[in-house]
Amino acid sequence: MIYINHRRSLREWARRVAGVFYAVLVVVGGVGQAQEHGAPYLRKQGTATQLIVDGQPFLILGGELGNSSASSLEYLRPHWEKFQSMHINTILAPAYWELIEPQEGRFDFSLVDGLIRDARTHGIRLVLLWFGSWKNSMSCYVPAWVKKDVDRFPRAQDGNGRSMEMLTCFNRNNLEADKNAFSALMRHLRDVDGREHTVLMIQVENEVGMIPDARDYCGEATKAFQSAVPAELMTYLQEHRVNLQPELRAVWEKGGFKTSGTWEEVFGKGLHTDEILMAWNYARYVEEVTAAGKKEYGLPMYVNAALIRAGYQPGQYPSGGPLPHLMDVWKAGAPSVDFLAPDIYHGSFVDWSSKFHRADNPLFIPEAGFTHRSSADAFYVIGQHDAIGFCPFSIESIDPARSIDPAGYRLVRSYDLLTQLAPIILEKQGKGALAGVSVERSRLETQVKFGEYVMTISFEPLDRYASKPAEADPRGGGVIIQLGADEFIVAGSGLIVTFQSLNPKRPLAGILSIDEGAYEQGVWKPGRRLNGDQSHQGRHMRLPYGDFQIQRVTLYHYK
Ligand code: DGJ
C-alpha cells in the first residue's frame, strides 16, 4: 500500500470526526471507561508499572527478531508457528525507515501491515522498533535520499573532522525528516491497529550513542559544546540534586554545583563532559521524535541502551546512550520516553537489571543475549524486578527441540511455566509477594524474605547433567510467589530451597506439604505429593535441574 502525504488531511479529518463521535458515545451512552478500550498504556500497581492491554495487565514473554528478518514476510512465514509452540506472546520487530519511506513523502506500509496481519493470525503481539536515524549508533536504515544528501542531512564527525555514516543529532533537518516519517508510521498504526492492539509498544531508535569518539565534532556540535548548558537541564539538576545518579552528581559537585555556564564550566573538562553533552542532545532529539509519534498514537515508547564493557571509556562504547549513569540526563531531556531499557549481552544480568530498575524506570529487557542462562534470567527479572517483559535476541534462530539446542528447550520450558503463572504474577506485582532468583558464578546461594519466613535458595550443581565441562556453569533460576501467610509457589529449575522461621516464639520452619502441579486457565491442578525422597523427607524443596516444575508448598512454624 502506498500512502502520499496530501491524503493525510482527509484521513485526519475523518479520524477527528470518528473521535468526536466516540467521545459523545462515551458520555451519552456510557460506553464504559474510554481508556479500557483505548491503546495499550502503562499503569502503576503498588511499586510496579504494568503494561495494560485491552484493560488487563500483560506480561511480555517475548523475543526480538534478528535485524533483517522482518524485511521479508516470506522469510518469517515458517517461524510464526514455531513462536506459538515456544509460548512466545510478543515479537519485537524492526520498522525500517528506508523501506517505509523509500522516496521522500511517499510511504509504503506494506511490510508493517503484513507483519501485523501475520502476527494477528497467530495470536502474537508486536513491539515495533523504529530503525530511524540510528541503529547501533550508525544511520544504516535511513533512506537513500537522506544518505545521499549530506548537505541537507549532515553527518556527525569524529575528532579528526571526518564525516561518519551517522546523522548528527545537532541538526534540525535530520530531526524533522525522522519525525515526519515516525509520525506517519504512528498515524498509520492508529488507523490499522487502533482497535485490535496487536502493536503494544514502540522502541524509538536503536542503541543510540557516539562512537569512536565521546562526542560529535561537527560544526553544530562544537557550537553547542561551547554554549551554555540549557536551562531545562540545569533546572532538573537543581530540583533532583539529592537523588541524582552518583556519577553525575559527583562531576557536578566537583565544579561546585554551578547553576549556569558552558558544559566544561559546569561539569569540568574530560570525556565524561563530552558524553553528558551527547546524552542531552540525543535525548532532546529522541524526545521530539517520540512526542510527535505519541501525538498521532499514544503507545508506550522506550529507548534501549548498548551497555558498557568493564573498563571502557566514553567513545569506546556508544557514548551518551540511555545508560544508568546518564539516566537523569535522559529523564530531563526526554520526558515523553516512558522508560530506558538495557540490552544485556555481557556483564552480570543481575547487576544491569538492578541498575535500570528505578522507581521512575520500570524494567523491560528488549534484548538479551540468548544463552543457557536465558531461562533463569527470564524468571529472575519477572520475579525480582516486576519486569514488563523479557526478550532474547534473534529469537527466530532458536531451535526449541531439546536434542539440538538445550538452551532453546530450557527457554521454552520457562516460558511455558511463566505463561501458566502470568495471571498470578500480574496480580501480585508491586505488592511485595514476588521474588526471582537466578544463579551467578559469584553467587551460588541467595536468600529471600516473605513475612515470617526466610527462604535460602541454593542452585543445583550441574556436574551430573553437563555433557561437557563448559556447560557445567550452574544456571538454575526460578520465581517465588507468596499466596498466603504460609503458602508459596516456587517454579523453575535447578533450585534447592530451605526454610527458616522469623517467628521468635516458634523459631523453626517446617514443611506441611509440597505438591507439584500445573495451572490450567488459572486453576491449580495438583499432581504428585512430594513429601518423601523428592523433598528429602521434608528437609527441603527441590526443583531438579533436568526438569522445569511448578511446586506449591505450605509451611508452618514450630519449636
Ligand atoms: C544489539 C542491537 O540492538 C541489535 O539490533 C543487534 O545488532 C544485536 N546487538 C547483535 O548482537
Residue type, 483: L
Bigger pLDDT: 207 or 32? 207
User: Whose alpha carbon is nearest atom 6 of ligand 1?
Assistant: 67
> If you count them, how many residues does the chain have?
559
Q: Please give the number of the atom of ligand 1 that sits closest to the Cα of 345.
A: 11
Q: Which helix (H) or strand (E) holds 344?
A: strand 339-344
User: Whose alpha carbon is nearest atom 2 of ligand 1?
Assistant: 136
Mean pLDDT of 516-542: 96
pLDDT of residue 540 exceeding 70: yes
pLDDT tens track for 179-233: 999 999 999 999 999 999 999 999 999 999 999 999 999 999 999 999 999 999 9
pLDDT of residue 334 exceeding 60: yes
User: Whose alpha carbon is nearest atom 8 of ligand 1?
Assistant: 393
Residue 256 φ/ψ region, left for φ over 0, alpha for ψ in the -120 to 50 degree band, beta for the rest: left
Given a contact cutoff of 8 angstroms between Cβ atoms, the answer to whether 402 and 440 are in contact is: no
Residue type, 100: I
Q: Please give the number of the atom of ligand 1 that sits closest to the Cα of 94.
A: 5
What pLDDT is recorded for position 467?
54
Q: Please give the number of the atom of ligand 1 that sits closest to the Cα of 129.
A: 5
Which among 39, 204, 198 has a CA at the least distance from the CA of 113? 198
Mean pLDDT of 84-90: 98
Total-model pTM: 0.92
What pLDDT is recorded for position 372?
86
Distance 483 CA to ligand 1 centre (A): 39
Given a contact cutoff of 8 angstroms between Cβ atoms, the answer to whether 490 and 478 are in contact is: yes
Distance 132 CA to ligand 1 centre (A): 15
Distance 313 CA to ligand 1 centre (A): 20
Distance 379 CA to ligand 1 centre (A): 22
Distance 238 CA to ligand 1 centre (A): 36
* Separation CA 335–CA 228 (nearest Å): 21
Question: What phi and psi values does residue 552 have, to the nearest 5 degrees?
Answer: -115, 130
The alpha carbon of residue 41 and the mean position of all alpha carbons in its chain are separated, in whole angstroms, by 15
Mean pLDDT of 125-147: 98
Given a contact cutoff of 8 angstroms between Cβ atoms, the answer to whether 164 and 157 are in contact is: yes
DSSP letter string, 219-246: HHHHHHHHSBPPHHHHHHHHHTGGGS-H
What confidence category does residue 442 fall into, taking pLDDT thresholds of 50, 70 and 90?
A: low
Which among 262, 355, 274, 264 has a CA at the least distance from the CA of 316? 274
Give, for ligand 1, the residue of 96, 129, 136 to mutate: max count of ligand atoms closer than 8 Å to Cβ. 136
What confidence category does residue 166 fall into, taking pLDDT thresholds of 50, 70 and 90?
A: very high
Q: Please give the number of the atom of ligand 1 that sits closest to the Cα of 67.
A: 5
E-only strand ranges, 463-540? 477-482, 487-493, 495-501, 508-520, 523-529
Task: HSE, CB side, 13 Å, CA atoms: give it for residue 416.
Answer: 17
Q: Please give the number of the atom of ligand 1 that sits closest to the Cα of 206.
A: 3
User: Whose alpha carbon is nearest atom 5 of ligand 1?
Assistant: 67
* Separation CA 136–CA 507 (nearest Å): 54
Which among 494, 504, 469, 481 has a CA at the least distance from the CA of 552? 481
The alpha carbon of residue 159 and the mean position of all alpha carbons in its chain are separated, in whole angstroms, by 33
Distance 545 CA to ligand 1 centre (A): 30
Q: Which residues line ligand 1 at a C-beta cut-off of 6 Å?
A: 67, 136, 206-207, 343, 367, 393
Given a contact cutoff of 8 angstroms between Cβ atoms, the answer to whether 436 and 477 are in contact is: yes
Find where cell 507439584 sits: 516
Distance 135 CA to ligand 1 centre (A): 9
Mean pLDDT of 65-74: 98
What pLDDT is recorded for position 445?
86
Q: Which helix (H) or strand (E) holds 130?
A: strand 125-135
What pLDDT is recorded for position 188?
98
* Separation CA 307–CA 284 (nearest Å): 20
What pLDDT is recorded for position 5?
42
Give, for ligand 1, the residue of 207, 344, 364 to mutate: max count of ligand atoms closer than 8 Å to Cβ. 207
pLDDT of residue 32 exceeding 90: no
Given a contact cutoff of 8 angstroms between Cβ atoms, the answer to whether 390 and 52 are in contact is: no
* Separation CA 387–CA 429 (nearest Å): 9
**Of 54-68, 132-146, 372-386, 453-467, which range is least confident?**
453-467
Between β-strands 487-493 and 445-450, what pairing exists: parallel, antiparallel or unpaired?
unpaired
pLDDT tens track for 470-492: 455 567 899 999 999 999 999 99
User: Cα dist. 138→167, 385, 495 in Å?
Assistant: 8, 31, 43
Give, for ligand 1, the residue of 130, 206, 352, 364 to mutate: max count of ligand atoms closer than 8 Å to Cβ. 206
pLDDT tens track for 385-407: 999 999 999 999 998 887 777 88
